[in-house]
Amino acid sequence: MKTIPLPKTNMDQSTTTPTSSTSAPTVPVALRPPSAIEMNSLSAWYAKNQVLHAIDLDIAAKQVCAFIGPSGCGKSTLLRWLNRMNDTIPGARATGKISLHGVSLLDAALDVVDLRRRVGMVFQKPNPFPKSIFDNVAFGPRLHRIYSRTDLEELVEQSLRASALWEEVKDRLSSSALGLSGGQQQRLCIARAIAVGPELLLMDEPCSALDPRSTASIEELIRELRTTYTIVIVTHNMQQASRVSDTTAFFYEGKLVETGATDLLFTTPRERRTEDYVTGRFG
């Protein structure tokens, strides 16, 4: 089967418009960095049940985009189409167009293994492998055989530093990852995803199984990672969305209701349903 390779480094082009990524995201529309992801009339089904209805959404590079909405609104489904994890679910299909740096993700000939190497994913519950901390982080690089042994040690350290876990685990890299706390495990999962060198990080409610303190450390990490990666985060927690994201997309019953800069969407929503949801009147 013919496979379409993804372009190697599109990240450099997307940084031509500099943004001060640590300040509040009040960049005017015209100055926003180019989109990393573009979706056109994306609809998705599980068997006969339509879960997404004609979504049009652009996600900017090197920013954090939050998907919010009540349970069952399709936000996780959408996230799982961005790395084609839905391929593993029998009966899941999608129409329309998603492109990541110009490469069509719904193409049947797309090399999904290559795609998933470029799109990291962090799951709801921390899911480290029952292996050592080192082996967890080294799993992806070893799989793709992209590093020699000395490089591998360096890469593991870099990834663990990037996920703010290095100082806590540097003396016990060979002990089991299952001995870490929930928050540490989740940061390990982030390190594991980073080690493969992705362009895009998908996070599916990464803090929902964590205590407030671990949640705070993950949120801080997300804000730091934004300088290097494009991040899409699904969250049920409105405060979290407002704390970590630059843009927010609100979904309701499989439709994209409203999207925009996070502070605007939370303070002056255009749609009534968005206002009801973000003020906690339903959902």
Residues near another protein (CB under 8 A) are 83, 85, 88, 90, 113-117, 120-121, 123, 125-130, 139-140, 143-144, 176, 178, 180, 182, 185, 189, 192-193, 196
Q: Which residues contact 281 (CB under 8 A, 6 or more apart)?
A: 275
Q: How far is CA 95 from CA 78, 103, 146, in A?
A: 12, 15, 34
Q: Output the six-digit token pair for 192.
A: 């594991």
What end-to-end distance do the CA atoms of the chain give, in Å?
45
To another protein, the closest distance from the beta carbon of 122 in angstroms equals: 9
Minimum CB separation of residue 75 from another protein in Å reads: 17
Q: Which is nearer to another protein, 123 or 147 (CB)?
A: 123
Kindly report the backbone phi and psi dihedral angles of residue 52, in degrees, each rounded to the nearest multiple of 5, phi listed first.
-130, 135
Q: What's the farthest any 2 CA atoms get from each other in the chain?
A: 56
Q: How far is CA 227 from CA 28, 37, 260, in A?
A: 19, 17, 20
Shortest distance, position 212 Cβ to another protein, whole Å = 19
Q: Are 125 and 183 in contact (CB under 8 A)?
A: no
Closest distance to another protein from the beta carbon of 52 (Å): 20
CB of 18 vs another protein, minimal distance in Å: 31
b/e 216-227 (16+ beta carbons within 10 angstroms → b): ebbbebbbebbe
Instruction: Tell me how far apart the alpha carbons of residues 35 and 100 are, in angstroms, rounded to a whole number.
Output: 9
- Compare residues 163 and 185 and give the one whose CB is closer to another protein: 185
- Alpha-carbon gap, residue 262 to 278, rounded angstroms: 11
- Measured from the CB atom, the residue of 160 and 180 that comes closer to another protein is 180
Q: In the bound complex, what is the minimum distance in angstroms from residue 206's beta carbon to another protein? A: 13
Q: Which is nearer to another protein, 121 or 278 (CB)?
A: 121
Cβ-contact 45, 93 below 8 angstroms: yes
Q: Residues 6 or more apart from 85 whose CB is under 8 A from it?
A: 116, 121
Residue 221 tokens, joined: 């990490």
Q: How far is the CB of 23 from another protein (least distance, A)?
A: 32
Q: How far is the CB of 12 from another protein (least distance, A)?
A: 22
The residue among 178 and 216 lying less far from another protein, judged by its C-beta, is 178
Measured from the CB atom, the residue of 33 and 140 that comes closer to another protein is: 140
Closer by beta carbon to another protein, 90 or else 280: 90
Structure tokens at 222: 């997300």
